[in-house]
Each structure stands twice: as structure tokens, then as C-alpha cells.
């Protein structure tokens, strides 16, 4: 199991008032739009369980972003 703590909704939000409170979502998506959608569902009160590949997790974690330096040059 991972030592990374689970993300929770903000403490100031009363979960009973959220529209998706009580809904369980199993997320097996990858690559930006799927995980983003799961995050929005969680913001609306759903409990999200993300299932990732055992050989490195979500492919998005291996993307090079615009502020990444490769060989001394910014991409």
C-alpha cells in the first residue's frame, strides 16, 4: 500500500450538504481528463477510489511539463 495520504474534501465543507454525498466512484481512468473528472466528483462529495497500474501508476506522472528542463534547456 502507498504511504501517500488520501485526499479529502475541505474541512469547511459540510459533506451532508454536497450533492454527491454517499456516492462511491471507482476510477480506473488515466491521462489528465479522467483523473480531473474524478477530482471534480470528489469536490461534489463523492468518495473516489482510484485504481492505478502496478507498474508506475497513472501515465500522467511521466509527462514532461513546459517548465521541465531537459539537457539544460527549458522545454
Neighbours of 42 (CB within 10 A): 19
Domain locations in the chain as residue ranges: 15-53
* Nearest-angstrom CA–CA distance, 29 and 36: 10
What's the pLDDT score for residue 14? Answer: 67
Query: Is 69 in a helix, a strand, or coil?
Result: strand
What's the pLDDT score for residue 68? Answer: 61
What's the pLDDT score for residue 51? Answer: 93
pLDDT tens, residue by residue, 23-44:
999 999 988 888 899 999 999 9
Q: Which residues of the chain are under the pLDDT cut of 70?
A: 1-15, 64-75
What's the pLDDT score for residue 3? Answer: 64
* Nearest-angstrom CA–CA distance, 41 and 7: 13
Amino acid at each position: 500500500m502507498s504511504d501517500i495520504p488520501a485526499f479529502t474534501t475541505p474541512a469547511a465543507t459540510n459533506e451532508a450538504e454536497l450533492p454527491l454525498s454517499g456516492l462511491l466512484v471507482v476510477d480506473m481512468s488515466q491521462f489528465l481528463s479522467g483523473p480531473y473528472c474524478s477530482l471534480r466528483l470528489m469536490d461534489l462529495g463523492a468518495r473516489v477510489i482510484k485504481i492505478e497500474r502496478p507498474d508506475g501508476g497513472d501515465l500522467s506522472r511521466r509527462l514532461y511539463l513546459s517548465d521541465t528542463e531537459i539537457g539544460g534547456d527549458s522545454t
